[in-house]
């Protein structure tokens, strides 16, 4: 058995939240900033590439691959969560995906057009590992936190993630801007510095996660794995779905979450690719401008996540999420018209204010809605699969429109409708204590 703990203990809660500090460098540096810039720089001569037997636009290729990764995640998440429930060792799985994700990030150092298949494989594996780890990480929340603590500690986790990832991004920005000062030489030291940034993400993720792993409880039992265990996750998801038929409020929330998450996560994933292609940067301004934009988003998001938690205490989670969906719809409309760097900076600031809030609040809203149970991993597995399938929908829709129109600007307009539908569905949820 793992070491005992008291539910609501501040040391355990802080250790849980600190994992956001450790792993948030992946979505910032790899998903949102340095890697998209590096990836775009590889296609400086031609935006199209022949790969897997097709001629892809570069942004459509990475979007289709991302969507495929989430298809795989939707399939394996119930399997691994079922095993974790049976064995009682969710921390073991959290560690495994932390380490595989970290190593994959470091291996992105070798990503280039000559090794495109190898590079895409490590991109794919890093993405799989990061998101697979989150189902175990998130499922700890109702286990370790009292209901009244969950909004705050969820927001604290996101805030810590923003601070930690910004610190590493600033270091990476310094390497990219002044590579010679870091001893980085060669024909293209700027790109080499970006490759070192991928290595720094892996090291940061491994090192800082150790504090979390030390304090989080683990009720591991020595049980023999039998073949039925591999299907337990699917059975548990089916059981959760059957239970949700009787819990109409959670069912309504998950439908709304599925809709707006498909737009939210896609926009967050493709934002830097959009800035790289659709904004008219001056010569030599693009790389620094894009990284500054991401820094702006992260810094403002720290206050946005905490402010959103405070607003939700005043008007309730559902009404706050509805309001945030409307803001996101207006942001997507604005994205269609922006073309200048200053406009992109303003949009980045607005995104930062609502980005962390809607993610943290969605997580804690679901956590507060689920009934009292010892099997929280199953509920969060269902929540996680819902999010992953929604991302498949969003990324596939975006990639398809980007490939056939050749314009990310046109493709992003469809998300205006999706956010408005999300707001409409949230408005149908009538609940007083959430």
For 53, the 3-state DSSP assignment is coil
CB 37 within 8 A of CB 194: yes
Q: How confident is the model at residue 1 (pLDDT cuts 50, 70, 90)?
A: very low
- pLDDT value at 294 more than 90: no
What are the backbone angles phi and psi of residue 4, rounded to the nearest 5°? -75, 155
Tokens 């706050």 found at: 320
183: left (phi over 0), alpha (psi -120 to 50) or beta: left
Question: Nearest CA to 324 among 351, 363, 344?
Answer: 351
**What burial class does residue 333 get, using C-beta atoms within 10 Å of its C-beta: 0-12 exposed, 13-18 middle, 19+ buried?**
middle
pLDDT digits (tens, 9 = 90+) for 342-386: 998 998 888 888 887 788 788 788 888 877 766 666 777 778 788
CB 27 within 8 A of CB 33: no
Q: How confident is the model at residue 244 (pLDDT cuts 50, 70, 90)?
A: confident
All structural domains of the chain with their residue ranges: 10-212+229-427
pLDDT confidence of residue 260: 94
Dihedral sign, Cα of residue 378, residue 75, residue 355, residue 431: negative
Q: How confident is the model at residue 388 (pLDDT cuts 50, 70, 90)?
A: confident
Mark out the alpha helices in 108-149 (DSSP H runs). 116-139, 141-144
Q: Measure the CA–CA gap between 182 and 198, rounded to whole angstroms.
A: 15
Q: How confident is the model at residue 228 (pLDDT cuts 50, 70, 90)?
A: low
Compare 90 and 377 and report the one with higher pLDDT. Answer: 90
Mean pLDDT in residue range 79-95: 76
CB 335 within 8 A of CB 347: yes
pLDDT confidence of residue 405: 85
> Nearest 5 degrees, angle CA 366-CA 370-CA 374?
125
Compare 7 and 25 and report the one with higher pLDDT. Answer: 25
pLDDT confidence of residue 3: 55
pLDDT confidence of residue 384: 77
Q: How confident is the model at residue 111 (pLDDT cuts 50, 70, 90)?
A: very high
pLDDT digits (tens, 9 = 90+) for 396-416: 998 888 888 888 888 888 899
Q: How confident is the model at residue 2 (pLDDT cuts 50, 70, 90)?
A: very low
Q: Measure the CA–CA gap between 17 and 154, rounded to whole angstroms.
A: 7
Dihedral sign, Cα of residue 259, residue 330, residue 424, residue 372: positive
Question: Nearest CA to 69 among 119, 139, 138, 130?
Answer: 130
275 Cβ contact list (under 8 Å, min separation 6):
289, 290, 293, 344
pLDDT confidence of residue 195: 94
What are the backbone angles phi and psi of residue 48, rounded to the nearest 5°? -110, 150
pLDDT confidence of residue 6: 77
- pLDDT value at 93 more than 80: yes
Tokens 């990284």 found at: 291
Compare 328 and 32 and report the one with higher pLDDT. Answer: 328
pLDDT confidence of residue 373: 67
347: left (phi over 0), alpha (psi -120 to 50) or beta: alpha
pLDDT digits (tens, 9 = 90+) for 180-190: 999 998 888 98
pLDDT digits (tens, 9 = 90+) for 164-208: 888 998 899 899 888 999 999 888 898 999 999 999 999 999 999
For 218, the 3-state DSSP assignment is coil
Q: Give bridge partners of residue 48 from the DSSP assignment.
A: 57
Q: Measure the CA–CA gap between 245 and 231, rounded to whole angstroms.
A: 22
pLDDT confidence of residue 218: 73
pLDDT digits (tens, 9 = 90+) for 37-59: 899 888 887 788 888 888 888 88
CATH architecture of 10-212+229-427: Up-down Bundle (1.20)
**Is this structure's pTM higher than 0.85?**
no
Q: Measure the CA–CA gap between 193 and 200, rounded to whole angstroms.
A: 10
115 Cβ contact list (under 8 Å, min separation 6):
none
Mean residue pLDDT across the chain? 84
Q: Measure the CA–CA gap between 209 and 199, rounded to whole angstroms.
A: 16
pLDDT digits (tens, 9 = 90+) for 304-338: 878 888 888 888 889 999 999 999 999 999 989 99
At what angle are helices 116-139 and 376-405 packed, to 10 degrees?
A: 150
Considering only CA atoms, give the Rg of the chain: 21
């Amino acid at each position: 058995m793992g070491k005992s703990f008291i539910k609501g203990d501040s040391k355990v809660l802080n250790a849980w939240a600190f994992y956001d500090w450790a792993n948030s460098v992946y979505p910032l540096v790899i998903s949102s900033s340095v890697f998209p810039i590096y990836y775009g720089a590889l296609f400086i001569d031609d935006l199209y590439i022949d790969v897997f037997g097709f001629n892809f636009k570069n942004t459509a290729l990475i979007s289709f691959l991302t969507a495929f990764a989430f298809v795989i995640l939707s399939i394996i998440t119930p399997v691994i969560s079922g095993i974790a429930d049976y064995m009682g060792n969710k921390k073991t799985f959290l560690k495994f995906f932390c380490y595989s994700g970290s190593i994959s990030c470091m291996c992105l150092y070798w990503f280039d057009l000559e090794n495109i298949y190898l590079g895409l494989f490590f991109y794919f594996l890093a993405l799989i590992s990061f998101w697979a780890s989150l189902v175990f990480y998130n499922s700890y929340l109702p286990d370790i936190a009292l209901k009244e603590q969950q909004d705050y500690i969820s927001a604290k986790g996101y805030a810590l993630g923003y601070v930690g990832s910004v610190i590493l991004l600033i270091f990476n920005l310094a390497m990219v801007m002044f590579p010679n000062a870091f001893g980085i030489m060669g024909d293209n030291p700027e790109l080499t510095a970006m490759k070192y940034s991928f290595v720094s993400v892996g090291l940061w993720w491994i090192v800082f996660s150790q504090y979390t792993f030390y304090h989080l409880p683990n009720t591991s039992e020595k049980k023999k794995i039998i073949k039925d265990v591999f299907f337990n996750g699917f059975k548990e998801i089916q059981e959760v779905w059957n239970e949700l038929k009787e819990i109409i409020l959670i069912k309504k929330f998950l439908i709304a979450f599925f809709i707006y998450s498909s737009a939210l996560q896609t926009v967050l994933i493709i934002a830097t690719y959009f800035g790289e292609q659709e904004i008219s940067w001056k010569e030599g301004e693009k790389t620094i401008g894009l990284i500054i934009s991401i820094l702006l988003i992260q810094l403002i998001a720290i206050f946005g996540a905490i402010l959103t938690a405070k607003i939700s205490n005043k008007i309730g989670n559902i009404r706050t999420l509805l309001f945030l969906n409307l803001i996101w719809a207006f942001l997507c409309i604005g994205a269609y018209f922006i073309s200048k760097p200053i406009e992109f900076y303003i949009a980045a600031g607005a995104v930062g204010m609502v980005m962390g809030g809607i993610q943290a609040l969605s997580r804690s809203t679901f956590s507060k809605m689920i009934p009292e149970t010892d099997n929280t991993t199953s509920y969060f597995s269902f929540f996680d699969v819902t999010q992953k399938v929604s991302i498949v929908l969003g990324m596939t829709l975006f990639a398809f429109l980007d490939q056939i129109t050749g314009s990310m600007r046109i493709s992003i307009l469809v998300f205006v409708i999706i956010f408005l539908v999300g707001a409409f569905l949230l408005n149908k949820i009538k609940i007083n204590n959430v």
